[in-house]
Structure 1
């Protein structure tokens, strides 16, 4: 066993915060130990954004062929779906990204990569396999993993990670969980040819959104043939025969079962912090296992920091990367960036996408402030009409006293990009009149933002 290999910093996890931090610290002259138990790149590269959005793109192409007739394009045959090729395209993209990262790490003499699970022995000492690593500063970037709910332990199920290894289209995909992961895969596989049923224990899908937004997304997916079973409580699963699975559900007191060929559990995520032996470092976590951090991402133990999903302050690649930016800012001496400075924003990558920035209508109505509100359906926007994609709408919330934008939602063509217009205004603390008086390119969805803002009215319950 190698004893006490000493570094300036240790980073546990090579995700979207850990990798850039390693290169940054190395550029500052530090010696860095980068510990990774799995594949380099973390969730986003290997099982998250990169592979799933590749599948979204392929599913989009399949859908376009089925919709071409209504736009005057007649095809002579039904599209043939080759999931093996889609899988290989995804693999090629992941391999290319990971290879670039691997090369960069190997060429950097200040960074040494250790493969294995990093476990604390004491606050400044980590064990990885046979090696013990010591450093004054330790950065935890271990991310999260799929949460498996009770009742499915002995069932043939897939997670968001393992379902990406399928080479054949499921005949009937059952999805437990009606939030972002579940809904994205629901549309992907429906468009690729599967029958899809989503089982959600709550009264509506994406329950953290406004109720009308949940209904909007559900109606969009139902229009494509995705089936929903809401109020599906007391869920449990069992294998059915040699190849099928059965999910038993209790809906409004009525017990029934749904059978399918494949089962995806999309029931949330839990932090990988239980692997770290945090109790030996006396690092505090909350009741769910997320590491408690300060505004500069330091834990209760001086010199130990937590970045990315494992600190519970964000569950996205962009928030993880901003965590890196916070650490970079403090290491460089500026010490201006804080967690509280960022505005919540994200996108649900169904097609068309659903994107949000800032607060929801529900949050606005429950606050002590007064807000103005405006909405516009995509059916009133020429660009959406021209594309033949008129589902969805735009909404905006403006704080009445200050005139600054407090929240926005877009569901429709280009929503994941257009939301950046509102985010820019929010980060710039711009008065709403700046956007209201703007002149945007025609024909785009964005050009209707001034028109949307001209219809602002007091938000009422």
Structure 2
């Protein structure tokens, strides 16, 4: 095991570590003063530093663990790699739907699946490597950053003087205070990709995006899986979307305990875990060999000595910033998971661009101006952008919803992927798009069209004029637009058209 919880140390993980935290790296001699010092080399930090360097600015980037942050090392990249393998396993087990004999996979396949995950991660790691960023003009410092005062940061016993700084330290798994949990062991997204043997029974605490994605992946790869969720699956999503995922999970054999919570963890004689779960008025005990904690994210704000720089923060919710991503120190900004409710790679990317413009060029770009889509990569996927109906109602907006079921889409039928819908929320009596939810096998790709429309203030009705290739699942969006246009055909207008066509026959 490496000091960064990366295991096993095979050729792929060695390649990863050599790229993102080379063992013999020597930090450079600091410049006299930097235009920008960035703390954290996840997405927000990488984007901030590369923009500054590309514009000719002098920039330092500090990372105490692994370049690439969560996304590369323990988030997006490994999770999507394992999800693809799990989907192939699902296809094999259900091959009769496509005209073949079903094929059962074996737990012996799991080590090869995880080797593939490590291989892909290692391949991609060169994009976030110390060498790449150094070659592009960034001074990379590996070590723990600590503010000395309002315009100095110490790392590796070196003092960095800065004009402006951006904190992009990200977040880590939030671990609830459950008796016996720490003593008996658990996994998070930071350690689950170290597994080389398939769990017999994986119990997941939390039914949010990470919990749901890993539940489906490990179930499809052959593990027994139980989800314990305090409220409902994907609680932040459209309730109809949540119910669809719940039904899919139950059909695939995932045990779901909603409105439940783990109250205690103990251990059997053979080192399996006994998880005590409180569910409404009853208490049940579940035996599992692994526990995955997926109960949310906590910002990385400790050990930075933020007080010395006059930066206000909250250990649970992160660094306090205004709409310009400026902290309580006017020369220091923050971006990404350490300060934002949107904890997505693409959100960190967009926020970093705002922070750099505002920090270096006295810009006035606002975080609130962003229209932020997101996607949970279950099968089917759940994607959303904009407001939900309840949010619009709270703001006093009257709305109309248009919905088209994916089961009516020809491409979905040819691929036997008919679960889901496209739902678009518009301002009443207009075609102004306020929000949208898509549940489909390609929802993460499809949501982009509606996001583009919202960003550019293109109404739903105009999408009906866009020719979509046939057959594609994105045609479902055009069909929703058609439903809006059809709604404009009031009885009076229909009567006028009928009269005109009758007149034309004379």
State the TM-score, normalized to the length of structure 1: 0.93
Question: Counterpart of 1:180?
Answer: 209
Partner Cα distance (1:360, 1:143) in 2:
27
Answer yes or no: is the 8 Å Cα contact 2:402–2:423 preserved in 1. Answer: yes
Partner Cα distance (1:255, 1:372) in 2:
43
**Which residue among 352, 357, 366 is the counterpart of 2:394?**
366
1:241 pairs with 2:269 = yes
Answer yes or no: is the 8 Å Cα contact 1:352–1:414 preserved in 2. Answer: yes
**Which residue among 39, 47, 50 is the counterpart of 1:23?**
50
Answer yes or no: is the 8 Å Cα contact 2:219–2:253 preserved in 1. Answer: yes
Show the 5 A alignment for 1:332-343: 333=361, 335=363, 337-343=365-371
Q: CA deviation at 1:17?
A: 1.5
**3-state SS of the aligned residue for 1:311?**
coil
Show the 5 A alignment for 1:370-385: 370-385=398-413
1:282 pairs with 2:320 = no
Partner Cα distance (1:376, 1:211) in 2:
16
Q: CA deviation at 1:95?
A: 2.0
Partner Cα distance (1:341, 1:240) in 2:
53
Q: CA deviation at 1:278?
A: 0.9
Answer yes or no: is the 8 Å Cα contact 2:203–2:290 preserved in 1. Answer: yes
Contiguous gaps of at least 5 residues in structure 2: 1-27, 489-506
Show the 5 A alignment for 1:178-327: 178-202=207-231, 204-233=232-261, 235-286=263-314, 288-327=316-355
Q: CA deviation at 1:3?
A: 10
Question: Counterpart of 2:440?
Answer: 412
- RMSD of aligned residue pairs (Cα, Å): 2.2
Q: CA deviation at 1:163?
A: 0.7
1:90 pairs with 2:117 = yes
Contiguous gaps of at least 5 residues in structure 1: none
C-alpha distance after superposition, 1:344-394 (max 9, x if no partner): 310001012111111112223333111111112221111111101111111
Runs of 4+ with >4 A deviation = 2-5, 331-334
Question: Counterpart of 2:104?
Answer: 78
Partner Cα distance (2:289, 2:171) in 1:
27
**Which residue among 115, 119, 143 is the counterpart of 2:142?**
115
Partner Cα distance (2:85, 2:396) in 1:
46
Relative distance call for 1:289 and 1:366 in structure 2 (3 A) is closer
Question: Counterpart of 2:81?
Answer: 54
Question: Counterpart of 1:146?
Answer: 173
**Stretch of structure 1 that moved more, 60-69 or 5-14:** 5-14
Relative distance call for 1:163 and 1:302 in structure 2 (3 A) is same
**3-state SS of the aligned residue for 1:273?**
coil
Answer yes or no: is the 8 Å Cα contact 1:156–1:263 preserved in 2. Answer: yes
Question: Counterpart of 1:437?
Answer: 465
C-alpha distance after superposition, 1:311-344 (max 9, x if no partner): 1242101110001221343467483632111113
1:45 pairs with 2:72 = yes
Answer yes or no: is the 8 Å Cα contact 1:210–1:362 preserved in 2. Answer: no
When Rg is computed on C-alpha atoms for both structures, the one with the higher figure is 2
Question: Counterpart of 1:167?
Answer: 196
Partner Cα distance (1:73, 1:60) in 2:
16
Q: CA deviation at 1:106?
A: 3.0
Q: CA deviation at 1:44?
A: 0.6
How many residue pairs get aligned? The number is 455
Partner Cα distance (1:234, 1:191) in 2:
24
Q: CA deviation at 1:50?
A: 0.6
**3-state SS of the aligned residue for 1:309?**
coil
1:63 pairs with 2:90 = yes
